[in-house]
Amino acid sequence: MNYLKAIPFALLTTSIPLLVSTHALSSERSTVSFSIDNDGVFGTDEDYTNGIFLSYTSGSITPYSIFRPLSISYWGASSLDKFEVQLGHKMWTPSDINATEPVANDRPYAGYFHTEFNYISLHPQQAQRVNLTVGATGESSFADQAQQLVHSIVGSTEPQGWEYQIEDRFAGSLGYLTHLNWKRAPAVGLTSWEISNVTEANIGNFRSDISTGAMFRWGTDLGGNFGSANIHSENPFKAGMIGASKRGWFSYFGIKARYRFNDMTIQGNRPGIPEPSEAYDITLQPWQAEATLGIAWYNQYVGVSTFIASKSAEYNEAKKSIYGNGGVSLFAFF
């Protein structure tokens, strides 16, 4: 990939100039992906236990005037911009799904069925995503039926406590994610290595938080797939954020710190809980950490990514200090 003479430009979130190309990136490929997370890779069935995601990302678009401020090109650089729509389903369960009565000091059952709308803007030195997420918790999330169906198929323990789940409620958030390249240099053969910063902020009644961390990657065409991997235990790979790159692979490792202000999956009301319901309340741990290790490969038609992740406890009464899960993402370009 060739780029013309670089110029400095001001970023939306920082006044530090980056060296950017004036050459317009282009990619007419649309992307579809299917991803699944599960903690079964560590032999557990608790906390964040499963996630399923189906997404469609457009090819390169010319930003409408209303969306121009969301594009890196608005601030003086060329960028590849896309829209993404994602349908997702997540669930959380307590440590003992055999219990027929709620257990004090344990995470509640919770599900989240949601749609996410993303505006993606990509450049080899910066990638960013602005998103609106809307969905529902409680019975409208269909988490209880989903887990019971899957467990009946695979012969796992039937969960007994979904009647005590977080209440049926509309939930949503606005979010901003940015990747900033700190250093990229040649390595062995055609490969390169890279260190970048990943910062994210979300606000809404589902979750509100702010986080930042560092990611190390090693592989090929890192400028063309910059931003596609995130530091998260929930669906960390976004195939739609692969830019003007026809083929490549990379491994990645990232670690970040987060401060979370609210979390409906922990603090939401549970109408089925026996009185006094306060005896079953748990307390959000605002300071949290996550680490993600993964690898991705793709050509001009298809690709695959897999990861394992760990995170610190998200509430003070948790029986463990660290939880883990893994996942895989399959995607295609057309």
According to the 3-state scheme, what is the secondary structure of the chain? CCCCCEEEECCCCCCCCEEEECCCCCCCCCEEEEEEEEHHHHCCCCEEEEEEEEEEECCCECCCHHHHHHCHHHHCCCCEEEEEEEEEEEEEECCCCCCCCCCCCCCCCEEEEEEEEEEEEEECCEEEEEEEEEEEEHHHHCHHHHHHHHHHHHCCCCCCCHHHCCCCEEEEEEEEEEEEEEEEEECCCCCEEEEEEEEEEEEECCEEEEEEEEEEEEECCCCCCCCCECCCCCCCECHHHCCCCCCEEEEEEEEEEEEEEEEHHHHCCCCCCCCCHHHHCCCECCEEEEEEEEEEEECCCEEEEEEEEEEECCECCCCCCEEEEEEEEEEEEC
What's the pLDDT score for residue 25?
A: 39
Selected residue with higher pLDDT from 173 and 102: 173
Mean of the pLDDT values across residues 118-140?
97
The torsion angles phi and psi of 74, rounded to 5 degrees, stand at -65, -25
Residue 5: band (very low, low, confident or very high) from pLDDT cuts 50, 70, 90: very low
Mean of the pLDDT values across residues 56-62?
95
The torsion angles phi and psi of 287, rounded to 5 degrees, stand at -85, 120
Residue closest to 120 by CA, chosen among 67, 184, 53: 67
Mean of the pLDDT values across residues 107-129?
97
Rounded to the nearest integer, the mean pLDDT of the chain is: 91
Model pLDDT for residues 184-193, shown as the tens digit of each residue: 999 999 999 9
> Which of 3-12, 16-25, 312-321 tops mean pLDDT?
312-321
Tokens 């939401």 map to which residue? 268
- Percent of the chain past pLDDT 90, that is, above it, reads 80
Mean of the pLDDT values across residues 33-39?
97
Residue type, 31: T
Q: In whole angstroms, how far apart are CA 189 and each of 183, 276, 297, 320? A: 18, 65, 17, 43
Residue 150: band (very low, low, confident or very high) from pLDDT cuts 50, 70, 90: confident
Residue 254: band (very low, low, confident or very high) from pLDDT cuts 50, 70, 90: very high
Mean of the pLDDT values across residues 23-52?
85
Residue closest to 329 by CA, chosen among 86, 82, 79: 86
Residue 28: band (very low, low, confident or very high) from pLDDT cuts 50, 70, 90: low
Beta bridge partners of residue 258, listed in sequence order: 211, 288
